[in-house]
């Protein structure tokens, strides 16, 4: 529960090694924050990362929980376990996803199922489990890292883009329901972000950094909006892209 100054005491990150997710949580830490929970498949990597982010002035308890982002059946148990351990969920950031860019899905169609499961199916179950908890609490702020790739799916990025389109649409619908009970969900739509996830890939126009995305996301989490485009120019760019005929959209040199 937030303290008397409105500071969230319990913050949870699903995707405890995510560059963007970790930076969001780091910037959320302030006096009054009591618990940080990092939910990761690789706890050792998460511990190593966080040892370099926290300093001696941070009076906060860091908890590590192991989970598999593709395990839809285990999501409810993970959420319940976190609640049993720290109590109410004030802010939860969901930042786990896979690109699948190393796969040729035409040659290996089954590989697409793994991307869809992590980015959409299992994430949908997770958001529902978190949403139910926040409904019971009567408050709470969820934050989902989506992507502009889901706003109009490109043929060269069809599996990832379509999975993000699906979870983005679901999350906005869930936000509409949660607001009836005092909770809310923020959907963050970054463009190309230079992180370990995109290392080696050609940078797209309006590329940004994890620090920059985190900074505007933290401000949005503290607000009450439902959607954040970052950089903000993408709101207008994709407003135009959505109106383009398919034949023109396919010829754009977007990769």
Active site residues: 160
CA dist 201 and 188 (Å) reads 21
Alpha helices in the chain (DSSP H): 19-28, 43-51, 75-86, 110-116, 122-137, 158-178, 210-222, 234-241, 246-251
∠ CA 205-208-214, rounded to 5°: 150
Spell out the long-range contacts of 194-201 with Cβ–Cβ below 8 A and sequence spacing 24 or more: 195/18, 195/19, 195/20, 196/19, 197/18, 197/19, 197/99, 198/99, 201/101
According to DSSP, residue 90 is labeled S
Residue labelled with tokens 């609490």: 137
C-alpha torsion sign, points 72, 178, 221, 47: negative
Residues 10 and 87 sit within 8 Å (Cβ to Cβ): yes
Residue 147: both structure tokens together: 């992507």
| Residue written as token pair 């395990």 | 71
CA angle at 143 for the pair 85 and 177, rounded to the nearest 5°: 95
């Amino acid at each position: 529960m937030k303290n008397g100054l409105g500071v969230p005491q319990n913050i949870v990150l699903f995707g405890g090694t995510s560059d963007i997710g970790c930076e969001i949580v780091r910037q959320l830490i302030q006096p009054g924050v009591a618990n940080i929970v990092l939910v990761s498949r690789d706890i050792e990597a998460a511990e190593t990362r966080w040892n370099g982010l926290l300093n001696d002035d941070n009076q906060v308890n860091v908890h590590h929980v192991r989970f598999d982002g593709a395990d839809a059946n285990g999501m409810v148990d993970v959420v319940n376990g976190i609640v049993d351990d720290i109590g109410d969920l004030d802010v939860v950031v969901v930042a786990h996803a896979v690109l699948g860019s190393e796969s040729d899905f035409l040659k290996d169609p089954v590989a697409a199922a793994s991307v869809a499961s992590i980015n959409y199916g299992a994430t949908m179950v997770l958001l529902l489990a978190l949403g139910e908890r926040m409904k019971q609490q009567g408050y709470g702020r969820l934050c989902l890292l989506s992507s502009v790739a889901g706003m109009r799916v490109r043929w060269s990025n069809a599996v990832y883009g379509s999975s993000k389109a699906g979870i983005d649409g679901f999350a906005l619908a869930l936000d509409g329901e949660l607001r009836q009970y005092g909770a809310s969900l923020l959907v963050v739509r970054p463009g190309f972000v230079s992180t370990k996830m995109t290392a080696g890939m050609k940078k797209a126009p309006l590329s940004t950094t994890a620090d920059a995305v985190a900074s505007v996301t933290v401000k949005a989490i503290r607000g009450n909006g439902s959607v954040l485009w970052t950089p903000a120019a993408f709101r207008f760019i994709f407003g135009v892209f959505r109106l383009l005929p398919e034949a023109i959209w396919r010829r754009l040199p977007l990769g």
